[in-house]
Amino acid sequence: MSEGMLKDKFARTIRDLRISVTDRCNFRCFYCIPDEDIVWKRKQELLTYEEIILVAKIGAGLGVHKLRLTGGEPLVRRDIEYLIEELAKIPGVSDLALTTNSFELKDRAIALRSAGLTRLTISCDSLNADTFKTITRRDGLQEVLDGIEAAVKAGFPAPKVNCVVIRGLNDGEVADFADFSRATGVRMRFIEYMPLDNGHQWDRSLLVGGREILQKIKERHEITPISRDTPSETALRYVFADGAPGEIGIIAPVTMPFCGACSRLRLTADGNLRTCLFSMVDHNIKDRIRRGDDEELIRQFMIETVLKKEEGHRINESDFVQPPRTMSFIGG
Ligand code: SF4
């Protein structure tokens, strides 16, 4: 096993591969997927599970030990438990996580756990049923909350709950989410609203910066900073000073970028490597696999691709251009 073979030209080591297994979703979050006229990828355009396993195996051989399954919504792709079982068997893979909207989690948590999944992250932007529906365009808050409960019962370590904070929509709920974390033990991750929306309507005035989110929490709870698990972890972390369960994390890619320690590479559902969430370039690995390139050629392609990794996003630069690919076709 050759630890740390995947280095970019800024001497960052790639250890995390985020794998989008589908572009499809059962929600229609307005900042991610349009509500109608969606042109989904056809089945043959998507990587098969065997192709995903191949890329993950080659990546593990290059020191990529953390895998995260994303979408769209990964639980809508059939037999994902099979993929999890196979990925969990890959030597060198020590962390296998999944990000879900939890709508189907209540009945799937135990099977996901026994398939070998080690961690769960749940996306939930509101604890208010009406606001939830406004954001997701689906009635599903109760199912999402039931899914969180089922995840804890299934033995997953305290799930992370991702909440994208948008001014004038759910920013009034930040302290309520902190209460929710105390009551359930989940680890909140408040995420700044990023320009990756399908309508390219992102507006900085809707952004609630990390410091402002923190202030909203401090108005209700005393919190204490704790250190990151790893230098590349994206969240600034806090615990409640009174020792209550739960945790607060602030992910502020716009106002407090963390690109300098980025260790992430992404694989899209349609078989492209992406060196950055905001990259303007896709690196097609699917066609190389399907034309019969052997593992050594694929390995070389991954190494060369990572050498093209951008230094960071340019959201705060005057020349910033939003990538054509939107979140549901990247996978977060
Ligand atoms: S914006 Fe790009 S470089 Fe920065 S942390 Fe995200 S993926 Fe890494």
Residue-level pLDDT at 147: 98
Domain count of the fold of the chain: 1
Distances (CA, A) of 230 to 12, 66, 290, 309: 13, 12, 36, 20
Ligand 1 center to 325 CA (angstroms):
15
- Say which CATH number the domain at 310 has: 3.20.20.70
**Where is 301: in which H helix or E strand?**
helix 295-306
Ligand 1 center to 309 CA (angstroms):
9
pLDDT in tens, 13-55: 999 999 999 999 999 998 888 767 788 999 999 999 999 999 9
**In a domain? residue 3:** no
Diameter of the chain measured on Cα atoms: 59
**In a domain? residue 192:** yes
Ligand 1 center to 326 CA (angstroms):
15
Gyration radius (Cα) of the chain, Å: 19
**In a domain? residue 177:** yes
Residue-level pLDDT at 1: 44
Measured by CA distance, the residue closest to atom 4 of ligand 1 is 259
Ligand 1 center to 97 CA (angstroms):
19
Which residues of the chain fall short of a pLDDT of 70? 1-4, 35
**In a domain? residue 8:** no
**In a domain? residue 4:** no
Ligand 1 center to 6 CA (angstroms):
16
Ligand 1: which of 281, 310, 314 to mutate, most ligand atoms within 8 Å of CB? 310
**In a domain? residue 65:** yes
Residue-level pLDDT at 260: 93
State how far the Cα of 135 lies from the Cα of 31, in Å rounded to an integer.
8
Contact 75, 24 (CB under 8 A): no
**In a domain? residue 1:** no
Ligand 1: which of 9, 17, 20, 278 to mutate, most ligand atoms within 8 Å of CB? 278
State how far the Cα of 82 lies from the Cα of 103, in Å rounded to an integer.
20
Ligand 1 neighbours, Cβ below 6 Å, are 253, 258-259, 262, 264, 276-278, 312-313
Residue-level pLDDT at 60: 98
Q: What is the DSSP letter of 134?
A: H
Where do the DSSP E strands lie in 151-210? 160-165, 187-192
Supply the range of the domain harboring residue 113: 16-330
**In a domain? residue 158:** yes
Residue-level pLDDT at 119: 96
